[in-house]
Structures are given as C-alpha cells and as structure tokens.
Amino acid sequence: MSLSLVLLVTMAVLYACGVYLLLEKSMTRVLLGFLLVGNATNLLILSMTGVAGGAPIADGDGAAATTDPLPQALGLTAIVITFGVSAFLLALIYRSWKLGRPDEVAVDEADVAVRTEGVPEEEIDGDTRAGDSEFADETGGADAVPGGADSDAPSPEEAPR
C-alpha cells in the first residue's frame, strides 16, 4: 500500500496540534483540539484507502483502478458524529459562559475536600484549592447574579498565566 506524503504530513501536524490543544485548560481550546484530532482521524481513515483511483461507482475501469469506497463511507459517518458532538460541546461552553463560569476545566471540589481534610490551612497547595482561580477574582460579580450574565456582560477573558 502506498501513501500520499502530503496526507501523512498533514495528519501528523493535525494530531500534534490537536493533542497540544486538548491538554489546555481552556474549554474553547479543548474544543478546537478535538476538531483538529477529529480531522486528523478522518485523514487517517482516508489514507487507508491506499492509492487514489477513479470514482467507485463509475463503471468500466475494473477493481484495480477504482478507489476503495469503504473508508469514504466510514469517514463521512465519523464527520457527522464529530459535527454533532462539537455542536453539543459549543452549547455546553456557551451555557457555562452564561452561568458566569470561567472558560476552563474546573477543579473537582469534592476531590479537593477529601484531599485537604484535616490538613492545616498553610500546608494546602494554593494551586489546587477549590475555586481558587484568578478569573474568579476578576469577575466575581458575575457569580453573584444567578441566571448568568446578560448579553452585554464582559466576555470571559483568559486568565493570565
């Protein structure tokens, strides 16, 4: 089986960037990372076709000159699923923003509570304390309004690193 070098390199770049973005704390970047990884996977499926040939349904060329149609069908299904899930994830991020939460993967508070139980206050690592985020200090007012921010509320800014 021979592969297209362009497809292969593109796929590798997409995977690399996608995995990098998936590891970010900001949910929007995670979504972008997921889209990149999804497209990289579609390229992977596509490159499993082998050498590109004629359209599968066109008659007369014989099996050798025709592209394998199955990966295309699999790819289409995968694209549809990725699309649907991305839409849901976007809605989730929007809902999170409406609720006035920072755009990041939050710390599991119950987990922190178990871990810090009985530990003196000064020994608790500042980074892992529940609700301890620079963002919360900046827009603490948004949390006070139940039901979320209005459309003219300040858009959640990225926390400084």
Partner 1 sequence: MTSLVPLVVLIPMLGAAVTLTLAGRPRVQRLFAVTALSAVAVLGVVLLLIVDAQGTLVMEVGGWAAPFGIALVVDRLSALLVAVSAIVLLAVLLFSVGQGLADGHDETPVSIYYPSYLILAAGVFTAFSAGDLFNLYVGFEILLVASYVLITLGGSESRIRVGQTYIVVSLVSSMLFLSSIAMIYGATGTVNLAHVALRVAELPVGIQIVLHVMLLLGFGVKSAVFPLSFWLPDSYPTAPAPVTAVFAGLLTKVGVYAIIRTETLLFPGPELNPALLVVASLTMLVGILGAIAQTDLKRMLSFTLVSHMGYLIFGVGLGTAVGTAATIYYIVHHIVVQTTLFLATGLVERIGGTTSLRRLGGLLQASPLVAVLFFVPALNLGGIPPFSGFLGKLGLFQAGAEQGSVLAWVGIGVGALVSLLTLYALIRAWSLAFWRPRPAPVSSDTGALTLTAVDAQTTALPLTPSRPGPGSPATASDADASVPTRADARAAVAAHPDVQGRRRGAAPTLLVGATAGMVLVSLALTVGAGPLFELAERAGKSLEGPSYISSVFPDGVPGIGDGSATDGGSHG
User: Any contact of residue 139 with partner 1 (CB under 8 A)?
Assistant: no
Answer yes or no: are the C-beta atoms of 107 and 86 closer than 8 Å: no
Span near partner 1 by CB under 8 A; candidates 51-59, 78-86, 128-136, 152-160:
78-86
Of these, 6, 95, 128, 141, which contacts partner 1 (CB under 8 A)? 95
Q: Residue 24 and residue 45: Cα distance in Å, rounded?
A: 26
Binding residues among 7-46 for partner 1 as defined by CB under 8 A: 22, 27, 30, 34, 37-38, 41, 44-45
- In the complex, which residues of this chain contact partner 1 (CB under 8 A)? 1, 22, 27, 30, 34, 37-38, 41, 44-45, 47-48, 70-71, 74, 77-78, 81, 84-85, 88-89, 92-93, 95-96, 99, 101, 105-106, 108, 110-111, 113-114, 117
